[in-house]
Structure 1
Amino acid sequence: MNITDVSNSLNLGNNVQKQNTSGKVAGDSFENILKNAISDVNQSQVQAYDAMEGIATGKVKNLQEAVQKIEEAELSLRLSLEVKNKAISAYKEVMRIQV
């Protein structure tokens, strides 16, 4: 999985908000982008658990695909945790700024 696949799966490049002349923001809000990213990570985790269950019960026909789903879910979870940590760090930094 390369970086463009990750950014495409999180829809970071496609949902850039644009402000029109009336002052309203067009496109998805940050809240919607965040919800979609979290639901994508959740869906990959569900697929990984299903793949693990299939491996354990012997129902998996292609072991390589099952392991790939598990690895993708792990990587997407790690990425989301790092994004969360960076966001919290940025928030704390902004809160330290004296007005």
Structure 2
Amino acid sequence: MTFDTIAPIQSMNFGTEKTGTATDSSSSVGNVPFADVLKDAVNNLQQTQQASAEDSYNLATGNTDNLAQIMVNASKETAAVQFTTELCTRAVSAYKEVMQMQV
């Protein structure tokens, strides 16, 4: 019987290394337009709903044996619905706050 050796844990340096200049940080995730984030969320929601519907159909017709994957896909769909709903709710709330600001 052979055993693989376990690699030692490497230390992580949080905040001690320079990550780049200010121009490098401008291409970070924080500068993604909101419309793109919303489109991605809706596309993800549609894909997960389609996968979950297909899994439900296969389960109902007896064409699948992988109940665990069906449950995972159903959980992904639930999370995607909650995320997209929360994203839209917060967007509407932020819009209302901006519109109520006095100039």
Between 1 and 2, higher relative CO (CA 8 Å, sep ≥ 6) is seen in 2
Q: Percent identity?
A: 29
- Report if the CA contact (8 A) 2:41-2:80 is conserved: no
Distance (whole Å) between structure 2 residues aligned to residue 62 and residue 42 of structure 1: 22
Task: Please state whether the residue corresponding to 1:61 is helix, strand or coil.
Answer: coil
In angstroms, what is the RMSD of aligned CA positions?
1.6
Relative to structure 2, which stretch is displaced further, 53-62 or 28-37?
28-37
TM-score of the aligned structures, taking structure 2 as reference length: 0.65
Per the alignment, residue 79 of structure 2 pairs with 75
Candidates 87, 91, 94, aligned match of 2:95: 91
Q: Pick the structure with greater CA Rg.
A: 2
Question: 1:52·1:66 contact (CA, 8 Å) conserved in 2?
Answer: yes
Q: How does 1:1-99 map to 2 (within 5 A)?
A: 15-17=29-31, 29-99=33-103
Aligned length: 76
8 A Cα contact 1:51 1:66, kept in partner: yes
Structure having the higher strand fraction is: 1
Partner Cα separation in structure 2 for residue 87 and residue 30 of structure 1 = 9
